[in-house]
Amino acid sequence: MEHIQSTKNSRVKEWKKLLSKKERDLTGTYIIEGEHLIEEALKTKDVIELMVQENIPILDSWPITKIPSVTTISADISKLISDTKTPQGVFAVCRKKETTIDLAKHKRYLLLDGVQDPGNIGTIIRTADAAGIDAIIMGEGSGDIYNPKVIRSAQGSHFHLPIVTGNLHTWIETFKKSAIPVFGTSLEGAVSYKEVSPSDSFALIVGNEGAGVARDILNKTDKNLYIPIFGKSESLNVAVAAGILLYYLRK
């Protein structure tokens, strides 16, 4: 097991770079932090290397012999490669998943149109996982699912279901050909979500925090839904709205 003490070490610099989207895209890898996330990652074959702060014991349940590289690091390095104020001291570098969607097997979908806030994206992924959604499609303009804040908010759910990036217009046409109903979300030209019946298969589209789902996408859906507001708030947070609709729509 290697030990690295200096923050100027070349490998430390590589880990630090993974906090940027540019480097994640370039290398096809990303960094995670925390025991829970690493436990979830170790259930997959995605972990490339594990980094543990020198004063923190490696958990007995972690299959260390199956991890290509295990390194102990100093507290200063932990601070450098973490994007939190209080580092947890355990990190892993993972390879991005190459995943596909199987229309014969996957029946319940969530599509994101320009959702950008990392906390919202992570919460939506976690909620979709809990609601038994089969796959998530990130439309153009949506945030990076490998952003550390997204991964933290998702709490390991990004390991549990396929998440792909794609053109939403193309996917809507694909769903229609497969007789999968497509629902948009909108405050205008929409019906209350309770006017549609739960189903074994559906595709739900939620939109940008400020602008909502783009009009040209809403024009292609089978039906657009809204959630009634009973108080004085103008709208619901996109992650909260997604949760309400996903749990309602699934049979």
pLDDT in tens, 73-109: 999 999 999 999 999 999 999 999 888 899 999 999 9
> CA–CA separation, 200 vs 215, rounded Å?
27
| 46 and 84 inside one domain | yes
* Residue 61 pLDDT: 87
Residue 100 covered by a domain:
no
Predicted confidence (pLDDT) per residue in 108-154, tens digit = 999 999 999 999 999 999 999 999 999 999 998 999 999 999 999 99
* CATH number of residue 157's parent domain: 3.40.1280.10
Amino acid sitting at position 41: A
Residue 102 covered by a domain:
no
* pLDDT tops 90 at residue 251: no
| 125 and 244 inside one domain | yes
pTM above 0.75, yes or no: yes
| Helices and strands (H and E) in the chain: how many | 9, 12
Is residue 127 a contact partner of residue 119, using CB atoms and an 8 Å limit?
no
| 152 and 192 inside one domain | yes
* CATH number of residue 45's parent domain: 3.30.1330.30
| 128 and 243 inside one domain | yes
Domain limits for position 131? 108-249
Predicted confidence (pLDDT) per residue in 191-228, tens digit = 999 999 999 999 999 999 999 999 999 999 999 999 99
Domain count across the chain: 2
Is residue 168 a contact partner of residue 195, using CB atoms and an 8 Å limit?
no
Closest-CA residue to 184 (of 242, 131, 233): 242
- Which residues are bridge partners to 50 per DSSP? 70, 92
Query: What letter does residue 181 receive in the DSSP assignment?
Result: -
Residue 103 covered by a domain:
no
Last residue of a domain, one of 44, 65, 95: 95
Compute CA 65 distance to the chain's CA centroid, rounded to the nearest angstrom. 28
Tokens of 61: 């349940």
Residue 161 covered by a domain:
yes
| 86 and 138 inside one domain | no
